[in-house]
Amino acid sequence: MTEFASGTLTGKNLHLSFGHNHVLRGIDLHVEKGTTASVIGPSGSGKSTLLRVMNRLIEPDQGDILLDGRSVLKDNPDELRQRIGMVFQQFNLFPHKTVVDNVSLALRKLRKLSKEQARAEALEQLDLVGLKHKADARPANLSGGQQQRVAIARALAMKPEVMFFDEATSALDPELVKGVLALMTDLAKGGMTMVVVTHEMGFSRNVSDTVTFMDAGVVVESGPPEQVFTAPRTDRLKGFLSDVL
Amino acid sequence: MDLLDQLADTFFNWEEMAKVIPALLMVGLPNTLILAVASGILGSVLGLALAMMGISRNAGARWVARIYTDIFRGLPAILVILVIGIGLSPIAREITGSRNPYPLGILALTLIAAAYIGEIFRSGIQSVEKGQLEASRALGFSYGSSMRLVVVPQGIRRVLPALVNQFISLLKDSSLVFMLGLAASDREIFRIGNDAMANTGNLSPLVAAGVLYLILTVPLTHFVNFIDNRLRTGKPEKKEPDELAAPIGKGAQA
C-alpha cells in the first residue's frame, strides 16, 4: 500500500436532532492519525448519522469537529469532504459512468487533472484494489464485492486524510465480504486513518485500534478492542455482544 | 361504383396531391421542423429549469414552478398560441420591428412544451436514488455540480422515452400556429395542406399532409420503443476475453 496523508480526526460533544428525534446526544470520538476506530452498536443507534455529521453531509446542531486539531466547522464543507473519503453500504457507484470514470470524475472536476492524467491515476487506484482489468466495464456488470472495491478506489483517489466506512460489507453476499474486509485491513495496516461503522465484530476486534459502542445516540463505552470485547463494563454492551457474537 | 370513385377522388386525387407535394416538402416540412425542433430545444431548457425549481429546497422556487406548470399544462394549446401570438405581438413588434408572428408561435409552443417536459424531467430526477447525491457530495462536489454531473444525467436517461413522446406531441401541435396567420413562406405542413384543400375543394392535399406527418412521427414512436427496450435490458453485452478464455483453456487441456 502507498503512503497516506493521514490526519487526526476529533468529534466533540456532537448533537443532532431531526425534529423531536434527538439522534446524537453529545458524541465524542477521537481518531488518532494512522489508526482505525470502529463504531459498533444496534441499528438506529446513530452510527451512520455520526459519520455523516463528521464529514458535514449533515450539519451538527452543536459540538465541534477538528481535523489535525483545527476546527473545520467554518471551512467550506465541500473542501472538507475532499479530505474525508466515504464508502457506503450500497456502494453508490455512478451507474451511467464506467468504472474508471467513476474513479477519475472527482480527479478531473475537483483536482482539475487532465483527462489522461486523471485516467492514469484512476487506473493506478483500480490496480491497488485489484480491478484494473474492469476499468471500462459498467458498475452494473460487476459483483457487489467488486463494486465496493471500486467505491473504495474512488474514495482513495482523492488522497483523503481520513476514510469513513458505513457498513461497507452489510449489503454483500457472505462470500464477497472477505475481499472487501481484506482490502480494509490492508488500508488500516498501511496507516490510513479510518472510522469504520460495522457489524463485522471480527474486523472490529482484530483490526481496529479503538472500539466505540454507541446506543440511542450516546457513546456507552469505548476503548481498545480487548477491553471492549472481553471486559465490557456496562449491561448495554454486554447485552449487545451476547446478541451479535 | 360511383360512390367509391367519388370517395377515391375526395381522398386520393393524385393530381391534387402531386400539385401540393412540392410546397409541402419545400415550405411546409422545413417550417414544421423549425417550429417543433426550436420549441423542443427551448422547451427542454426551460423545462429543466422548471424541474430544478420544482425539487429545490427553496419554497418560493417550488411555488413558481408549480403555478407555471399548472397554468400551461391546464390550458388548451390553441388558446395559449392565440393569446401569446396576438397578445404579445405589439411588444414583439416594438422589440424586433417585425410583424411576423412566427417567433411568437415558437414562444407559445415553447411555453407549453416546457410545462410538460419540466414534469417529465422532475419525475426522472426524483427517481434517482438519494445515495447518488450523497456519494457525489461525499467526494466533495457541491450540490450544483452533483446535480449536473451525477443526478440529472441519470434522471434524464430514465425519462428519454417520455421525452420523445413529448416531442411527437410537439411536432403535431406545431400545426396550431396556423391560427396566427403566417406569411406564405412561413406556413407549415398542415396550413399548406389546408390551403390547398380550401382552394380546390378536394381533401387529397390534406391527406398528403397527413402522410407527411406520419412519416415524421411513426419512426419517432418506434424510436421510443427502441430506447425504452434498451433502457430496460441494457446494451447487448460483450463477453469478456478472459471469461471466454477460461473454458476454452480448460477444454484444450482436457
Residue-wise pLDDT tens digits, B171-190: 999 999 998 888 888 999 99
* Separation CA A109–CA B101 (nearest Å): 44
The pLDDT score that the predictor gives to residue A233 is: 95
- Asked if pLDDT for residue B230 goes beyond 90, the answer is no
pLDDT at B152: 95
pTM of the model: 0.84
Distance linking the first and last C-alpha atoms of chain B: 79
Q: What is the pLDDT of residues A37-54, one digit of tens each?
A: 999 999 999 999 999 999
All three cell numbers of B204, joined, read 387529397
pLDDT exceeds cutoff 60 at B51: yes
| Sign (positive or negative) of CA dihedral B24, B25, B27, B29 | positive
Using pLDDT thresholds of 50, 70 and 90, give the confidence band for residue B83.
very high
Q: Are A7 and A161 in contact (CB under 8 A)?
A: yes
A54–B contact, CB cutoff 8 A: no
pLDDT of B249 higher than 60: no
Count of Cβ atoms closer than 10 Å to residue A115 Cβ: 10
CB within 8 Å of A131: residues ≥ 6 apart = A99, A142, A146, A149, A150, A153
* Contact status of B66 with chain A (Cβ, < 8 Å): no
B245: pLDDT strictly greater than 70: no
| Contact of A112 with A148, CB cutoff 8 Å | no
- In residues, how long is chain B? 254
- Give the chain A residue nearest B133 (alpha carbons): A92
Q: Does A155 touch chain B (CB under 8 A)?
A: yes
Confidence bin at A2 (pLDDT 50/70/90): low
CB contact under 8 A, B132 and A86: no
Tens digit of each residue's pLDDT (9 = 90 or more) over A21-38: 999 999 999 999 999 999
Q: How far lies B215's CA from each of A209, B29, B218, in Å? A: 70, 11, 6
The pLDDT value recorded for residue A120 is 97
pLDDT, tens digit, for every residue of A80-122?
Answer: 999 999 999 999 999 999 999 999 999 999 999 999 999 999 9
Where in chain A does DSSP place strands (E)?
9-18, 21-31, 36-40, 62-67, 70-71, 84-87, 162-166, 193-197, 210-215, 218-223
- Strand A193-197 and strand A36-40: pairing? parallel
Closest alpha carbon within chain A to B153: A96
pLDDT of residue B1: 64
Q: How far is B162 from chain A (nearest CA, A)?
A: 19
The CA distance from A156 to the nearest CA of chain B, in Å, is: 10
Given a cut of 50, is residue B195 above it in pLDDT? Answer: yes
Chain B residues in contact with A109 (beta carbon < 8 A): 141, 145, 149
Question: Shortest CB distance from B131 goes to which of A88, A105, A155?
Answer: A88
Selected for mutation to probe chain A from B57, B128, B139 (highest A CB count within 10 Å) is B139
Which residues of B fall within a CB distance of 8 Å from A105?
139, 149
Closest to A82 (Cβ–Cβ): which among B134, B140, B154? B140
Do the bridges between strand A62-67 and strand A9-18 make them parallel or antiparallel, or are there none, so unpaired?
Answer: antiparallel
What pLDDT does A41 receive? 96
Write out the three cell numbers for A172.
454483500
